[in-house]
Amino acid sequence: MTLITVLKSEKLINALFLKVAWVACVVGGNVYGLCLVALMLCLSIYQKHFAADWPYVIGLGIFGLLLDTGWMYFGMLDYGSSAVLTVAGVTLAPLWIVLLWVAVGLSLNHSLIFFVDRPLIGGLIVGGSAPFSYMAGERFGAVVIPSYENLVILGLVWFAVYYALFSLAKYVNGRSAEKAQLIAASALN
């Protein structure tokens, strides 16, 4: 495999963008995170993947906003001064954490496809690594973890969420493949 082949790999490029998005959002905050996720969005459109990506982008953006706002509300996490928007007396999770969820939506059928095909493995890896991600975020000053016992709950919830997410994507991808086969078969007849 040549360097040019590797650089042309859409999955590799997407994986790099997802990793850089984490750094941009956690370390750089809203502005850097927004710029990086906008680049990921442009790439998805350019590669003609956005038609399949957009439901995950919207769904995970909304889900992430609700979940991370819930974490704050129940005292599991504290995003400090980056959580500034308040609606109906509830302070919402910061934009940068929602952008991370959007980045996952833009990566689900690309660099994360291995886990989509293996939801249990994906759920276990994400659930097991999530506490370390939060601890790294805390070291960068992006989040405060009031009690490290909360990390166990976060890991378990992340396992369940990502197992369900990967399973859903696997189901949707299977349905899309079936539909494409039916269309192809009917075109031949």
Residue 153 lies in a domain: yes
116 or 183, greater pLDDT? 116
Domain count, the chain: 1
What is the percent of the chain with per-residue pLDDT over 90, rounded to a whole number? 75
Q: Is residue 3 part of a domain?
A: no
Rounded to 5 degrees, φ, ψ at 145 are: -100, 105
Query: Which amino acid, residue 91?
Result: T
Q: What does DSSP say about strands 86-87 and 90-91: parallel, antiparallel, or unpaired?
A: antiparallel
Residue 2 lies in a domain: no
Higher-scoring residue by pLDDT: 86, 115: 115
Strand partners, 90: 87
Distances (CA, A) of 21 to 98, 172, 186: 12, 25, 42
**Mean pLDDT value across residues 45-65:** 94
Q: Place 81 in a pLDDT band, splitting at 50, 70 and 90.
A: confident
* CB of 106 closer than 8 Å to CB of 59: no
Cβ atoms of 33 and 95 within 8 Å: the answer is: yes
Judged against a pLDDT cut of 80, whether residue 189 lies above it is answered with no
Residue 6 lies in a domain: no
CA distances from 98 to 85, 88, 95, 154 (A): 13, 19, 5, 16
- 90-131 pLDDT, tens digit per residue, is 889 999 999 999 999 999 999 999 999 999 999 999 999 999
| Structural domain span for residue 71 | 11-188
pTM: 0.87
